[in-house]
């Protein structure tokens, strides 16, 4: 199967680094473009101004810092990519971007929790695996 667009949800973990590295290798052989997505926690609207705007600014700054670390892995590679930042439910955001962007594949890192632990803890990977329509490759 040839992939044309791969979604990589990223955070600030080594598992996420592994997913990006694997995605790069797959994109190099398939010619796929990459979408690096970072989802930050929703900012409560009841904070009022200027606190709400400060919280948004902090979340955005942290998100760009995480994406900058991941895109550094793409330096010197001839791979087309874009970056996206969304706030809210991570699993829902991943599903939404995958559908909207018509992604062929999602590659994401996981800590390797069991099914039971994933259900109890609310693992994002577990939720994504059970809600999206495209294939999901989980990298440890």
Q: pLDDT tens digits for 78-96?
A: 999 999 999 888 999 999 9
**Which residue segments constitute the domains of the chain, with CATH numbers given?**
5-139 (3.40.50.620)
Query: What's the CA gap between 123 and 110, in Å, rounded?
Result: 9
Global confidence as pTM: 0.87
Q: Strand 81-87 and strand 5-9: pairing?
A: unpaired
At 96 the pLDDT is 96
């Amino acid at each position: 199967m040839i992939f044309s667009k791969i979604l990589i949800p990223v955070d600030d973990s080594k598992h996420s680094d592994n997913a990006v590295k694997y995605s790069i290798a797959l994109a190099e052989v398939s010619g796929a473009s990459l979408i690096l997505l970072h989802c930050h926690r929703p900012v409560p609207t009841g904070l009022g101004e200027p606190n709400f705007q400060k919280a948004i600014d902090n979340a955005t700054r942290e998100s760009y810092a995480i994406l900058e670390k991941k895109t550094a892995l793409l330096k010197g590679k001839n791979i087309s990519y874009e970056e996206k930042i969304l706030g809210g439910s991570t699993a829902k955001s991943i599903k939404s971007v995958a559908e909207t962007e018509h992604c062929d594949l999602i590659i994401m890192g996981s800590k390797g929790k069991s099914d039971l632990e994933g259900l109890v803890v609310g693992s994002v990977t577990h939720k994504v695996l059970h809600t999206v329509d495209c294939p999901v490759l989980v990298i440890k």
